[in-house]
Amino acid sequence: MKPLTTLGETPAALPGTPLSGSTTNSQIFLKAKFLLCAGFGIFMFLCPLGGDSFNTPLSLLTDAIDKFISTNLPWFLTALVVLSAVSGLLGQFVQPAWLRRRAWLSELVCISKPYLVTRLVAMAVTLGVTFGVGPEAVIGEDAGGNMVGLASTLIAIAFALSFVMPFLTDSGIMEFAGILLKPLTRPLFHVPGRASVDLVASWLASSNTAVLITQQEYEAGCYSRREAAAIMTNFSLVSIPFCMVVAETLDISSHFLALYAVVTAIGLLLAIVGVRMPPLSSIPEAYRGKKNIAEDVPENVSLFGWAVQSALDRAATFQPKQVLDGGAKMTVGILCDLIPIVIAWGTVGSLLVNETPIFQYLSYPMGIYMSLLGVPDAFTAAPATLVGFIDMFIPALISTNLPSEFTRFVIGGLSLVQIIYLTEVGSIIVKANVGIDMKRLFLIFLERTVLALPLLVLAAHFILE
């Protein structure tokens, strides 16, 4: 392989040999294509617009779609969930030939019995919320009503994300960042350099956005099962806007900058430790299909030069048809598969939190642990350390009346670094088939909780006292 001494040379070009006009024009075109497509993806996902809400263009687009659907198509979610359940019944008991011939559609319709039950539960909850029929504990705002509202937002995310994501993942920027950052991410986190894009996307957009990016990269052969599982459970930090909401809810917004700095630092430390611990370390390095990643730099080629050439090679294969086909399939997958899971699992989880004392009993050991760490009101705050597995906002909601600012700071930080919750991220991780079932997911959640608590207590002492 010849050195890439300039951006205009290709790997096969001899040093000092003039390039033909057609080759030069081709390279200029590829560079322009890469800069425009990747620049659009970076702008949509990773460019904060500032202001009080600190939104990205993608989040603004999502909000606009959400408002349009809620105003003009209020029935859309109900019809969607009913269609998902009916199609699941069709795939379970009929399985027509035309359906089996379309692999991607067959995967959505021909589902297992547990997932069929999930869709039927989601349909019952959605119909109950829509028509106001059923027990208040199920359809109220603290359970089914909240999950249906969340699912409506996910519809907007599906439409916005699916057709914009290829500009970030398939236009060359992942290859460029991956090669440049591999010397840092591989030894620290045991993941490819391109995982850094997932991390930044979660910081500035949302954690479910980063998990969906990781899922797509895994399905494309860019991550192994272990790498995808590690990225999903360690790199998908919650977004800055949500951190602001948590800080305001717990009345610790005056310490927001310190809180977010602590959450970021602890999140990175947990990633370094977590990828070296079971169950993540025991997941095999298997790829879904053919491995489709090459971040190793050939001899006599500069790191930056190889990053640029790899990005241009990927940009050369990027076509609008990919955006439309891939976006349509991803949208249908989120709408018909993920949304029923969020509604069903989220409602059941919320009922366990609101209507049963199970988390009071389960959290007793955490109360002892926090007492040993010197956290005020340890047993009162203990349930908040576990309910984040259901939804990341519940810990803040049930901790607003804690008298100690110290304890509220610890709970707020903990809810942000746990990052694994069933209503969104957890559902995607389990469904992605990257070697993490519900049992392993909860074990990882517990590991992060136990490791993060003493670090948060130490930080709270330093910041608040």
Question: CA torsion 457→442→329→37, rounded to 10°?
Answer: 30
- Spell out the SS3 assignment of the chain: CCCCCCCCCCCCCCCCCCCCHHHHHHHHHHHHHHHHHHHHHHHHHHCCCCCCCCCCHHHHHHHHHHHHHHHHCCCHHHHHHHHHHHHHHHHHHCCCHHHHCCHHHHHHHCCCHHHHHHHHHHHHHHHHHHHCCCCHHHHCCCCHHHHHHHHHHHHHHHHHHHHHHHHHHCCCHHHHHHHHHHHHHHHHHCCCCCHHHHHHHHHHCCHHHHHHHHHHHHHCCCCCHHHHHHHHHHCCCCCHHHHHHHHHHCCCHHHHHHHHHHHHHHHHHHHHHHCCCCCHHHCCCCCCCCCCCCCCCCCCCCHHHHHHHHHHHHHHHCCHHHHHHHHHHHHHHHHHHHHHHHHHHHHHHHHHHHHCCHHHHHCHHHHHHHHHCCCCCHHHHHHHHCHHHCCCCHHHHCCCCCCCHHHHHHHHHHHHHHCCCHHHHHHHHHHCCCCCCHHHHHHHHHHHHHHHHHHHHHHHHHHHC
CB 109 within 8 A of CB 91: yes
Range of the domain at 137: 23-43+52-465
> Is 8 part of a structural domain of the chain?
no
> Is 7 part of a structural domain of the chain?
no
pLDDT for 277 equals 93
Highest mean pLDDT among 24-33, 117-126, 394-403: 117-126
Is the per-residue pLDDT at 317 higher than 90?
no
Is the per-residue pLDDT at 299 higher than 60?
yes
Higher-confidence residue of 211 and 453: namely 453
Q: Which residues of 139-166 are buried (b: 16+ CB within 10 A; e: fewer)?
A: beebbbbbbbebbbbbbbbbbbbbbbbb
> Is 331 part of a structural domain of the chain?
yes
Q: Can you tell me the mean pLDDT for 433-453? A: 92
pLDDT for 22 equals 52
Interhelix angle 303-317/21-46, nearest 10 degrees: 90
Domain count, the chain: 1
CB 139 within 8 A of CB 115: no
Q: Can you tell me the mean pLDDT for 81-92? A: 86
> Is 280 part of a structural domain of the chain?
yes
d(CA 172, CA 309): 9
Higher-confidence residue of 415 and 20: namely 415
C-beta neighbour count of 67 within 10 angstroms: 11
Task: Tell me whether the omega of the peptide bond preceding residue 279 falls within 30 degrees of 0, making it cis.
Answer: yes
Is the per-residue pLDDT at 136 higher than 50?
yes
Phi, psi of 401 (to 5 degrees): -95, 5
pLDDT for 313 equals 84
The one-letter code for the residue type at 153 is T
> Is 93 part of a structural domain of the chain?
yes
385 pLDDT tier (thresholds 50, 70, 90) = very high
Q: Can you tell me the mean pLDDT for 77-90? A: 89
What is the token pair recorded at 337? 């598969």
pLDDT for 8 equals 35
> Is 6 part of a structural domain of the chain?
no
Q: Can you tell me the mean pLDDT for 207-225? A: 83
pLDDT for 236 equals 75
Q: What whole-number percentage of the chain has pLDDT above 90?
A: 22
Is the per-residue pLDDT at 394 higher than 70?
yes
**Among 14-18, 318-322, 391-395, 410-414, where is mean pLDDT lowest?**
14-18
> Is 427 part of a structural domain of the chain?
yes
Q: Can you tell me the mean pLDDT for 203-216? A: 74
pLDDT for 206 equals 63
Q: Can you tell me the mean pLDDT for 133-157? A: 84
Let me know if 405 is exposed, middle or buried by CB neighbors in 10 A (0-12, 13-18, 19+).
middle
pTM above 0.75, yes or no: no
> Is 14 part of a structural domain of the chain?
no
| CA-based nearest residue to 351, from 391, 380, 303 | 391
CB 22 within 8 A of CB 319: no
Higher-confidence residue of 299 and 364: namely 364
Q: What is the Cα 86 distance to its own chain's centre? A: 28
pLDDT digits (tens, 9 = 90+) for 226-259: 999 998 888 877 766 677 778 888 888 888 888 9
